[in-house]
Amino acid sequence: MIIGLTGTNGAGKTVTADHLQTKGFYFHSLSDEIRAELARQEMEANRENLIRTGNALRAEFGPAVLAERIKARLRPDRNYVVDSIRNPYEVDALRALGDFKMLHLDAPRPVRFDRVVARGGPRTPQSFEEFVEQEEREMTSADPSHQQLRATWAKADSVLRNEGSIADLKSAVDKVVSGWLMQSQRPGWDEYFMQIAKIVSLRSNCMKRKVAAVIVKDKRIISTGYNGTPRGVKNCNEGGCPRCNSFADSGSSLGECLCSHAEENSIVQAAYHGISVKDATLYSTFSPCLICTKMIINAGIREVVFNMEYPLLETARALLEEAGVLVRKAASE
């Protein structure tokens, strides 16, 4: 899960981020991307330069650029807390990853003013009126590349009013985040096995297309296969297949192709190791060709789930259906 933090100055975002890190969340801040840019320009990382440079980056590379840069470093097997979200496009970019929730932290202005003054720093406002003026200047903008705090807050999944002690804030954060984690969705079986197939496809040495198949029985993987030249033969990407290396048109010169298909290899690998595939399900990143279809039928596989359609789908599909093999396309991700 990715927890995004947004809110007003002095509302408790840093305390919340530090607290979530003690719970195993990995931390990122969109402001760190701006600081890195300031370091490259040998500029001081003060509040004015952070705001100005952040706006300039969004104007040049798009309003979601800071979130897009962070996304490239996020792994799907970890929980993250991402601070300093100040533009609604940043929210949209992070939410597109899937399991994302945004927490908006706030507190009454007098309370936050006292916290900011107590915290100190080079830009500490000299009066409450100056504090309000600074804050209002950052709230809204007609320019989509600028900070748009109010529009960002409108996209929050939950709002916490941090008016009490740090202990109270941590307790409230725990309640909200634990509730989100308990509602977090695991991938379904189709998505699980298809994602594994996509990883297997990266082992393919075929010059034309990387395809993989995973054979599953009782929700357990019993065989995998990817397309490429036969065992002991020079790899396709090393010149082993004349058809692929000539960049032949898709669907043409198939009789000259020396590469075995992913479905074929997954079935053959099971046979090589003495494993029965009878009544199993085959997941493939592409729907099977006619030759692989005949192997699937004769091997006793009862279901085929595919991600993308192969050009020769119709004949193969008709044969599978005639043989009583279930065929379906995986749900779109």
Return d(Cα 125, Cα 131) in angstroms, integer.
5
The answer to whether the beta carbons of residues 83 and 14 sit under 8 Å apart is: yes
Return d(Cα 103, Cα 176) in angstroms, integer.
9
Q: Mind giving me the DSSP string for 9-76?
A: TTSSHHHHHHHHHHTT-EEEEHHHHHHHHHHHTT----HHHHHHHHHHHHHHH-TTHHHHHHHTT--T
DSSP letter at 260 equals B
Of these residues, 44, 263, 321, 333, which one is catalytic? 263
Our answer to whether residue 263 is catalytic in this structure is yes
Return d(Cα 41, Cα 127) in angstroms, integer.
32
Residue type, 91: V
Q: CB burial class (10 A; 0-12, 13-18, 19+) of residue 206?
A: buried
Return d(Cα 177, Cα 81) in angstroms, integer.
11
Return d(Cα 23, Cα 7) in angstroms, integer.
21
Residues marked active site are found at 263
